[in-house]
Structure 1
Amino acid sequence: MYIKPLEIPRHILAAQALDVRIPASHLFKEKISKRAANLLSGYKGENAMRYHLQFLPEDDFLIFHYIRLPDEYKHFQIDFLLLSRWFYLIIEVKNIYDNINFDDLGQTYRKIDDNVEVFTNPVEQINLQYRRLLSWLSKYDLPSVPIEKIVVYSRDDTYLRNLNNDKRISDIVMHRDKVLSKVDSFIDKHQTPRISEQQLLDLSWHLLNEHVPEKDGGMDQFNVNYDDLIKGVLCPDCGTVPMQWKSGKWWCDFCGCTSKTAHRQALMDYALLVGEHINNRQARDFLRVGSSYIAKDILQKENFEKIGSTSGRKYRIDLENLFKSRSWKQKARSSHQKSRSSQ
């Protein structure tokens, strides 16, 4: 049973928004794009686990996706944490194409032709997660429960090579289609309940209560300020910015696309990168509309919460509802490089 369901974390949405809103001429554009792509790839790998995890006994396991907990070394993050009365399981997910090699020096790398790309050793990474989770659990008066750990490569076409036949690697590292049989082996290994159902629920409450989601979409990391951002409503068909507001619709001068709701993605970007509260002047500037009446009409039709009096009124952008209502056929997110703004 999912206690913390699988959903795309806010900092990944913010990284995507930053990538779209930063012009190609920006000093850190390449790094910003690479970070957004890597974060999204990681989430896609975690999402690929959904199918296999649904076959676990629902009454026996509590599943947490993306748990980020504080400790004396700031925070540590776990892709999936599975709790049961018999054992806990940490799952670290990797979404890497082609080949992955593990050598006798503890290096993890991908080699394509003469190019070698080195990655963090996932075995050492998950061992550190294990240590930090163990320390975090020690704060609570709960029984000791065995903690298992596995590293899962989510792509079926990833070629895993254990060059030194290291048993630690073969025990921990696997493709996703091996996960269920591995969990079955843990079930066979741990036959004695170590914790009561109530204690398990108490632990779940502590996990949810102490979870600290990452909020930084990268603006601080790359020294980006508001003036660096591309303003305007992006065309959902071709990515051109800005669209023009005419006769109650957004019009794209480049491809002729029209939309009544294209501003929602722009408001999402504003909430993710700038803040969840916006006033009329700020909306006019970011959406690139010249009339305060148009901006007011757009904001009011979204039924956002109003804060303050008429002269100083702000609107709280409902990020969750905007995200739920947006179309996943948004071509602007995948083709923003085609944007014909004044970049």
Structure 2
Amino acid sequence: MFIKERIPPIELEVLPQLMHRLPFHHKSWPDVERAHYMIKAGHGGEIEVDRLLKQMRWKECLFISDLQLSEAYCQMDTIVLTPYFAVILEVKNYSGTLIFDEESMHMRQITKQGQEIGYRSPVTQIWNAREELLVLFKEMGVSLPVYAAIVLPYPTTLVENIPKTFPVIYGHSLNRFIFTLPRNGQPLPNEELLRIGELLIKQHSPFSEKNYPQTFKYHPSELKKGILCRQCGAIGSRHSARTYHCSICQLRIIDGFRHALDDWFALVSPTITNRQCQDFLMLHNKNAARHVLLRAELKRVRKKGQFYYYK
């Protein structure tokens, strides 16, 4: 049973809009596209592992998805709690071949197209996660053993130089892997297991929101302005006071002002002024900007004689 469900990363919503707002010729556009691809693939792999865990026959197991410990800068894809032990699963959804190097703690991916890409080894990540969970258990007075594994969701991924520190398993063998781990001592009652799970969830502290201009090295002035089509990113043409139309998709743009403000808050700044709204949404005057901001039902604060609007 999942006591903390997985939710899609906010980047899956924000990065496509950044690709629409950022000119295609911008030097960071390929980096944004690749980041979106990696996050989408990673989330897809985690969803597949969640599906497989839900099929497990050991019904006493509890599952916690995406536990983040911001102070320790630690994130655990999945924690499996059983009456005898806990297991941390680090999900890696890569195509091609993965080559591990335990001495340098480095991992290479050779894609199906023959491209070679280097990464920090997930062995380091899962080692840190296990240590953090052991610390939490000690603080909570819990004596459950903690195991860990790197999980490849699909059998099409090949592996060379399998690390000795932690096992690398395929998604289809999850049931067998967890079921055959040692069961020592007296099992914890279901009520106690649930209490431990709820205490862990209380420790969840999400990482701070990403600074996209800093991460992808763009200046807000480089972003495309106006009301954009959510499908293709083209600048919409105005048909009436509130209606925009995409000449490429031939679709009416719904809630264009709201989506444009969402883009500003995600890609530029958590606050916006009337002047910034007028400029970014390409409105004719400050009264039009004020009308849009008020209709958006934003909060506002006055500083040095100027209103700043925020969510």
- Cα distance, 1:224–1:110 mapped onto 2, change above 3 Å: closer
TM superposition shift of 1:146: 0.9
Which moves more between the two structures, 148-157 or 27-36? 27-36
Which structure 2 residue ranges, 5 or more long, are not aligned?
none
TM superposition shift of 1:278: 4.0
Tell me if structure 1 keeps the 8 A contact 2:11–2:36.
Answer: no
Letter in 2 for 1:219: P
Aligned to 1:168: 164
Aligned to 1:69: 69
Aligned to 1:265: 259
Secondary structure in 2 aligned to 1:23?
coil
TM superposition shift of 1:312: 5.9
Aligned to 1:42: 42
- Cα distance, 1:57–1:117 mapped onto 2, change above 3 Å: same
TM superposition shift of 1:5: 1.7
Fraction of identical pairs, as percent: 22
TM superposition shift of 1:277: 4.4
Tell me if structure 2 keeps the 8 A contact 1:18–1:219.
Answer: no
Aligned to 1:97: 95
Q: Give the TM-score normalised by the residue count of structure 1.
A: 0.73
TM superposition shift of 1:178: 1.6
TM-superposition CA deviations, 1:3-36 (whole Å, max 9, x none): 3321123355444443433223434333333233
Tell me if structure 2 keeps the 8 A contact 1:232–1:243.
Answer: no
Secondary structure in 2 aligned to 1:81?
strand
State how many pairs are aligned: 307
TM superposition shift of 1:168: 3.3
Aligned to 1:178: 173
Tell me if structure 2 keeps the 8 A contact 1:10–1:214.
Answer: no
- Cα distance, 1:76–1:235 mapped onto 2, change above 3 Å: same
Could you tell me how far apart the structure 2 residues matched to 1:283 and 1:293 are? 11
TM-superposition CA deviations, 1:283-310 (whole Å, max 9, x none): 33222222445445545555x354469x
TM-superposition CA deviations, 1:243-265 (whole Å, max 9, x none): 43524311224443222323443
Which structure 1 residue ranges, 5 or more long, are not aligned?
318-343
Could you tell me how far apart the structure 2 residues matched to 1:181 and 1:45 are? 19
Tell me if structure 2 keeps the 8 A contact 1:66–1:79.
Answer: yes
Tell me if structure 2 keeps the 8 A contact 1:10–1:215.
Answer: no
Letter in 2 for 1:154: P
Could you tell me how far apart the structure 1 residues matched to 2:231 and 2:196 are? 48
Secondary structure in 1 aligned to 2:215?
coil
Could you tell me how far apart the structure 2 residues matched to 1:312 and 1:53 are? 53
Could you tell me how far apart the structure 2 residues matched to 1:220 and 1:137 are? 36
Could you tell me how far apart the structure 2 residues matched to 1:277 and 1:113 are? 44
Aligned to 2:119: 119
Q: Give the TM-score normalised by the residue count of structure 2.
A: 0.80
Aligned ranges 1:300-311 → 2 under 5 Å: 300-302=294-296, 304-307=297-300
- Cα distance, 1:6–1:271 mapped onto 2, change above 3 Å: same
Residue of structure 2 aligned with 1:288, choices 267, 282, 296: 282
- Cα distance, 1:280–1:145 mapped onto 2, change above 3 Å: same
Could you tell me how far apart the structure 2 residues matched to 1:238 and 1:167 are? 44
Could you tell me how far apart the structure 2 residues matched to 1:4 and 1:281 are? 42
Tell me if structure 1 keeps the 8 A contact 2:6–2:65.
Answer: yes
Root-mean-square deviation (Å): 3.5
Whether 2:218 is the aligned partner of 1:224: answer: yes
- Cα distance, 1:104–1:66 mapped onto 2, change above 3 Å: closer
Tell me if structure 2 keeps the 8 A contact 1:6–1:65.
Answer: yes
Aligned to 2:146: 147
Could you tell me how far apart the structure 2 residues matched to 1:100 and 1:299 are? 50
